[in-house]
Structure 1
Amino acid sequence: MWARNIQIYRLLDTEHLPLEQLAEALEIYRFQPCSETQARRVGWSDPAGSAGNGQLVHEVSGHRLITLMRQERILPAPVVRDELAERVDKLTAQQGFPPGRRDKLAMKERIVEELLPRAFVKNSRTDVWIDTKANIIGVAAASSKRAEEALDVLRETLGSLKVIPLAPQTPAGRTMTTWLNDPTTRPDGVLVGDRVVLRAKGDDGKIVATSIDVDGDEVRTSLEVGRQVSQMALTFEEQMSFTLVEDMSIKGIRFADAVLKEVDDTDSDENPVMQMETEFVLAAQCLAHTIEKLMHALGGEATVQPVDPAGGDHGKADT
């Protein structure tokens, strides 16, 4: 299915660009591979990959999918350091004294320029889901840092993008702690799984409990000494299971067998683009429904003033 981890944001712009205009904006920032002298490039790519026809945005039933492609030349620091040390030793022997700090920096820059064309190239992609009906953006990333990179590029592409992280009125960690303390407070349709992460107040210490009875004595003892839930495995309305993190990240997404069967029933091996779109929209619809119910279970969404940060430093190329 489409995503294993997702960072969710509330889209504050309620007017969405027509699909054609969005495609035109993305085209300006279409991904191009690194040249021999470039360390990194980012840009938009076809979500269907090599099986697609170059289409940069796919839309099905109001759900849009775009993909940020990143390419980096991997030049390990030890390689540069060893080469620099060798050249410094050679120059010291030639001139009778070691080079100064400024000379060393210049030597290091030349080494990087010389080695970059021979460096390994690493490609990675970040999918971005836009729900035009619910005004939600989901970024398929395990960390907020990677998600914010994609949002920065999208902001630069569109000229403006007003989003805030999706947040409940009551912190998710506090609500999950209540669910663990008192099973009667758990909403209908929500099942607590067998994994929970508890953290202590005021420090970084944590307890990771897996494959256990979360209502058992071990977990209860930890709660009694003041530990709070920072992550909890949940199953939602028998549609999907995941780990909810206190910052509202959703990780380890697994869709229920019934959802996966629906994908199998619409299998289209002869048309990989159609198959990708089918899997995406089924996952997006399931996620949208779950997010709506989850926010209700957490006590409703917080009201936060819009923030429109300046465009990030992610251009089409960084050298």
Structure 2
Amino acid sequence: MWFKHLHLYRLHDASTLDSEQLETALAEQAFRPLGGTEARRIGWTTPAGRGSDRYLHELQGQRLMTALRQERILPASVVREEVDERVEVIETQESRKLRRQEKQAIKEQVYEELLPRAFVRSQKTDLWWDTRRNLIAVNSSSRKRAEELLDLLRESLGSLKVTPLSAQTLPIRAMTTWLNDASSRPADMLLGDQVELKAKGDDGVLKARQVDLDGDDIQQLLESGRQASKLALGMEGRLRFVLHDDLAVKSLAFDDALIDEANQADDGDDAVLRMETDFILMAQTLGESVDRLIDWLGGEAQSSSVSATDLTATTP
């Protein structure tokens, strides 16, 4: 249940759907297995798995929902090999070179024929919705996958106005300052041992793990003009994470005391109650941590316009 990554979004004009209405909306977009010729499909599934038929778990204003994505895995090399064989046969039989359009038609035919026999990969992605903070977070390492899940939520609700969470100070600038000047770090900030430094020119990216970030080597790189695009940080008693320059929070590791508190909770061997206990402890910790992170970055930037992410789903 414990999230590993966060892509954070600010919710504007929050939906007034209550939990019962939202449950119904999610059920209408429930996941259905892939058809024979479908390449991919996404829909809602039950966060608690087969032990529950609920698509939404809401506790103390914290909402949890889960999407299931399936896609067929058809390696390009397999398609290419089959296309090459068919092209060679036709060119030999007809004593001519096939045109580009003809090869493309063969490729499309091969793809359609092989797709039903391809392996299917399934992936679940959790979404946390803090209704009190009007905050949505997607537990995915990929921004693209997070946006895909938001599109599904938008389709389920009819409209969803969100923008990526942003701060007054750009993360890359703040992280570089924190590394450069120890006195600039907030009192409750824990500096980790992992960093990624970008050069302003074409010198590439330098990645370092398990290093003393206050050591001379890192300081010399900063003096040469490099900037911190990723930085391992922590909050005492809460969690550790890697902050990215797009404000993504990855590689989350929750404090042992919090995990122990969850493990000591009396759930009566009820798997659903166990999940909900973990979720509410996690959501409360994440909400407070996100608030503090934004404080570190000088407060939240005010969005003056609706971005491309803020679309209204239309019914055909």
Give the Cα–Cα distance (whole angstroms) in 2 for the partners of residues 247 and 46 of structure 1. Answer: 30
Counterpart in the other structure of 2:34: 34
How much has 1:311 moved relative to structure 2? 4.9
Give the Cα–Cα distance (whole angstroms) in 1 for the partners of residues 121 and 264 of structure 2. Answer: 35
Give secondary structure in 2 for the equivalent of 1:301: coil
How much has 1:222 moved relative to structure 2? 1.0
Give the Cα–Cα distance (whole angstroms) in 1 for the partners of residues 125 and 47 of structure 2. Answer: 9
Letter in structure 1 aligned against 2:6:
I
Counterpart in the other structure of 2:119: 120
Could you say if the C-alpha distance between residues 204 and 73 of structure 1 is closer, same or farther in structure 2, counting changes exceeding 3 Å? Answer: farther
1:274 maps to 2:269: no
Counterpart in the other structure of 2:198: 199
Map 1:167-246; keep pairs closer than 5 Å. Answer: 167-203=166-202, 205-246=204-245
Give secondary structure in 2 for the equivalent of 1:23: helix
Could you say if the C-alpha distance between residues 120 and 204 of structure 1 is closer, same or farther in structure 2, counting changes exceeding 3 Å? Answer: farther
Say which is worse superposed, 59-68 or 201-210, in terms of deviation: 201-210
> Conserved in 1, the CA contact under 8 Å of 2:197 and 2:207?
yes
Could you say if the C-alpha distance between residues 312 and 108 of structure 1 is closer, same or farther in structure 2, counting changes exceeding 3 Å? Answer: farther
Counterpart in the other structure of 1:301: 300
Counterpart in the other structure of 1:3: 3
> Moved runs in structure 1, 4+ residues, more than 3 A?
308-313
1:287 maps to 2:290: no
Could you say if the C-alpha distance between residues 202 and 156 of structure 1 is closer, same or farther in structure 2, counting changes exceeding 3 Å? Answer: farther
> Conserved in 2, the CA contact under 8 Å of 1:161 and 1:308?
no
How much has 1:153 moved relative to structure 2? 1.6
TM-score between both structures, scaled by the size of structure 1: 0.93
How much has 1:269 moved relative to structure 2? 7.0
> Conserved in 2, the CA contact under 8 Å of 1:163 and 1:306?
no
| Unaligned 5+ runs, structure 2 | none
> Conserved in 1, the CA contact under 8 Å of 2:238 and 2:258?
yes
How much has 1:204 moved relative to structure 2? 6.0
Give the Cα–Cα distance (whole angstroms) in 1 for the partners of residues 88 and 142 of structure 2. Answer: 42
Q: Deviations over 1:92-126 (max 9, x none)?
A: 22222233333322222222222122110000121
Give the Cα–Cα distance (whole angstroms) in 2 for the partners of residues 119 and 27 of structure 1. Answer: 28
Q: Deviations over 1:283-306 (max 9, x none)?
A: 111100000011111111101124
Counterpart in the other structure of 1:21: 21
Give the Cα–Cα distance (whole angstroms) in 2 for the partners of residues 93 and 211 of structure 1. Answer: 60
Give the Cα–Cα distance (whole angstroms) in 1 for the partners of residues 281 and 305 of structure 2. Answer: 30
Counterpart in the other structure of 1:96: 95
Map 1:67-86; keep pairs closer than 5 Å. Answer: 67-86=66-85
Give the Cα–Cα distance (whole angstroms) in 1 for the partners of residues 94 and 213 of structure 2. Answer: 69
Aligned length: 314
TM-score between both structures, scaled by the size of structure 2: 0.93
Counterpart in the other structure of 1:60: 59
Give the Cα–Cα distance (whole angstroms) in 2 for the partners of residues 285 and 205 of structure 1. Answer: 38
Could you say if the C-alpha distance between residues 71 and 311 of structure 1 is closer, same or farther in structure 2, counting changes exceeding 3 Å? Answer: farther
How much has 1:58 moved relative to structure 2? 0.9
Q: Deviations over 1:165-212 (max 9, x none)?
A: 111101111112111111111112111111121111144622222212
Letter in structure 2 aligned against 1:223:
L
Give the Cα–Cα distance (whole angstroms) in 2 for the partners of residues 91 and 57 of structure 1. Answer: 55
> Conserved in 1, the CA contact under 8 Å of 2:161 and 2:311?
no
Q: Deviations over 1:72-100 (max 9, x none)?
A: 11111111111111111222222222333
